[in-house]
Amino acid sequence: MTVLPDARRAVTLDIEGMTCASCVARVEKRLLTVPGAQASVNLATESAKVSVPDDADDEALLAAVRSAGYDARVRRAGAREADAAPARAGTSLGTRLIVSAALAVPVIVLGMVPTWQFPGWQWVSLGLTLPIVLWGGWPFHRATFVNLRHGALTMDTLITMGTSAALLWSLWALVFGSAGRLGMTHEFQLFGPVHDATALVYFEVAAGVTVFLLLGRWFEHRSKRTAGDALRALLSLGSQDVILADVKGQDGPTVPIALLGVGDRFVVRPGGTIATDGVVAYGSAAVDESMLTGESVPIAVDPGSSVTGGTIAVDGRLVVTATAVGEQTRLATMARLVEDAQSAKGATQRLADRISAVFVPVVIGIAILTLLVWLLLGQPVAAGFTAAVAVLIIACPCALGLATPVAILVGTGRGAQLGVLITGPEAIEAAARVDTILLDKTGTLTEGRMSVHAVITGPEVDRDAFIARVAALEAASEHPVARAIAALVERPAAVSEFRNEAGRGVVGTVAGALVFARRADAADTDALPDVLRDAVRAAAGTVVLAGTVRAGAEHVDGVIILTDAVRPDSAGAVAELHGLGLDVRLLTGDTASAARVVATAVGITEVTAGVTPEAKLAAVRAAQAAGARVAMVGDGVNDAAALASADLGIAMGGGTDAAMHASDVTLVRDDVTAIPTAIRLSRRIMGTIRGNLFWAFGYNVAAIPLAALGLLNPMIAGAAMAFSSVFVVLNSLRLRSFH
């Protein structure tokens, strides 16, 4: 719990039992009934962030959640999102799925193959089916009861209704009908009235539906378990310990980061992570801010410069005065942005729930109408009740249980073969609907590493000798720019008296000459020879001035221009995205000139440059507010919040863990052409799912009139169920041919 400035405090609740967007809405509504409470519920992490007055009672919050039908507990201090309930739920579902599937196989085989129905088979089926329906299917039944308390009908309601009807009817037929006699088998008769309705059992329906739906729910939970990983990846960037600085700026004791306060001074050693946000008091260094900007070139800092916690001092020692700690740091703010974005994305309603909200009352209505019509026609109550129950059984969504998970499993499996990892149903639905795609530049459209674009030498300067000297000098440095220049020669010469001027450049002796290399400053331009001055002013990249020190003065012999090279397949990928009807835009933290060069090379006209992580998030939300369905593609920590907030987040495979965890799709092969592949595959999967749902309901609906008329033979029911399920599986397997 964190004390807020306005005498309020933040409480995090871990909530168990939420399965859909309607659950989130109910929990939020109940939490808001607590006086002064402001709540945001996250389905992905099964948690709620609640702001309450300082004197509010936590028990009131827990009682509010429980009144909505869910369990809750206050998260202990220091716990993170990854410690929440989804992992436990996923493990429980996995156990239920494995056990239920093992028990269901003989039940389904015995129920569908009359020649294998040995004496007493129906009693064996009962023993195997009871734990499947009552224990394996408990997550569905519990959700049904919770939803019914609030007048909601969902997919869970349909599952409970169908499996319960099949199980209870079969149990009644065994005990009070003729289905329990030894030697009974299902008669093989496709058409005509049922001679003895009390001899019918539907254990295979109850068992099969439960297992198939458990499979779908397990897959859904597996994707939800990764939701907290984005936050963990962001938070892991921060330091756990910090070296305090004494009054002279020297190294002091090492203490846990939690003991660092605003105004304290701490030390950052070369190559070390900056512990928290602050201002440089002493020292100079090149700081790798790629987690914020996404750009690979470190930024020079010196006394008075602001630095951000989680960034890395590539070279040089710094003494920093802390200006923000804990929840107030920029890194913590980015983590909150990711969490808030994931919470908003959790509001996507499942397609099956929307269908069930209509289908369930219609089926119940038909069953009641069937019973009434039979009674009005003067038929026996038992016959009317049999027909009504048959309607409920035939409406049980056996094929519906396969419609979504099989298509997803086959489609995502094919995607993995193509280097595209899709997290789950919501990602597929979002990918199929996007109409606008925002592309990060560095690491997405470009290689994500510096390379030499051009070497320009001054008048009367030997170009080869110039390159050899500078490459040898830079080979002694670990700076990303230095490594790119050093790669110009295969075997660089030895360097002596090497000196790293932190945040500025390097100096050393090569073959008897004192050589320097440093980044260009604006003040340098006028003093350069014309050819070098023109090159610097026209450059759209990082500019390094290099030369020799003669008579105590620097003489610039040449200019090296470095850029982040455009991937060779970027232009083709952008063209394919345009061909898919997508509005393609470039969104980058790099300079406008560098962004424009890349945009022109790949065929993008709309460019937004120089944006911070917060500005990237704002750009995504602005596009959404304008009615666009947005996909965001990126690879850096600075993209994480935008990836999480977009309707679809796509992370490049070579990117950071934070970006991958915040995204819905990860491109494993780090190939930009996989972006349109992911969009096309998702559209294909969604088309397959819609076709599966249509036929799954179609077969059930077609058989309902037979049930209502009392013509439901178990072989007809079994054939309809089997054929609809086989059709759904075969239709889904067509996704294996996607390319």
Separation of alpha carbons 470 and 484, rounded Å: 11
Q: In angstroms, rounded to a whole number, what is the distance separating the alpha carbons of residues 735 and 684?
A: 8
> What token pair was written down for 241?
């310990």
Annotate 631-656 with three-state secondary structure: EEEECCHHHHHHHHHCCEEEEECCCC
What's the number of CA atoms in the CB half-sphere (13 Å) around residue 733?
6
Residue 664 DSSP one-character state: S
Q: Tell me the C-alpha distance between 657 and 639, whole Å.
A: 11
Residue given tokens 């054939």 in the structure block? 719
583, 435 Cβ separation under 8 angstroms: yes
Q: Which of 264, 288, 440, 590 is catalytic?
A: 440
Residue of 413, 414, 407 whose CA lies nearest to 728: 407
CA distance 260 to 41: 31
Beta bridge partners of 454: 561
Burial 454-473 (b: 16+ CB within 10 A, else e): ebbbbeebeeeebbbbbbbb
Cα 175–chain centre separation: 50
Strands (E) across 246-303 are located at 251-256, 265-268, 278-282, 285-288, 299-301
Amino acid at 334: M
Nearest partner of 397 among 145, 159, 722, 705, judged by Cα? 159
Provide the pairing of β-strand 2-3 with 318-322.
unpaired
Token pair of 45 as six digits: 């992490």
| Strand ranges in 389-519 using DSSP code E only, listed in sequence order | 420-422, 436-439, 446-457, 495-501, 505-510, 513-519
- Give the residues across from 546 on adjacent strands: 517, 558
CB-based contact 110:121 (threshold 8 Å): yes
- With b for 16 or more beta-carbon neighbours within 10 A and e for fewer, the 244-271 pattern comes to bbeeeeeebeeeebeebeeebbbbbebe
User: What CA–CA distance (Å, rounded) separates 11 from 634?
Assistant: 32
The total number of residues shown for the chain amounts to 739
* Nearest-angstrom CA–CA distance, 8 and 37: 10
Based on the residue annotation, tell me whether 440 is a catalytic residue of this protein.
yes
Sheet containing 265-268: order of strands = 251-256, 241-245, 265-268, 318-322, 278-282, 306-307
Amino acid, res. 617: L
Question: How far, in Å, CA of 390 to CA of 704, rounded?
Answer: 8
Alpha-carbon Rg for the chain in angstroms: 33
DSSP 45-73: TTEEEEEEETT--HHHHHHHHHHTT-EEE
Residue 419 is which amino acid?
G
Q: Is 627 exposed, middle or buried (0-12, 13-18, 19+ CB in 10 A)?
A: exposed
Q: Are residues 518 and 504 in contact, defined by beta-carbon separation less than 8 angstroms?
A: yes
In sequence order, which ranges of 225-346 are alpha helices (DSSP H)? 229-235, 290-293, 330-345
Question: Quick one: DSSP state of residue 672?
Answer: T
User: CB-based burial of residue 229 (10 Å sphere; 0-12 exposed, 13-18 middle, 19+ buried)?
Assistant: middle
Active site residues per annotation: 440
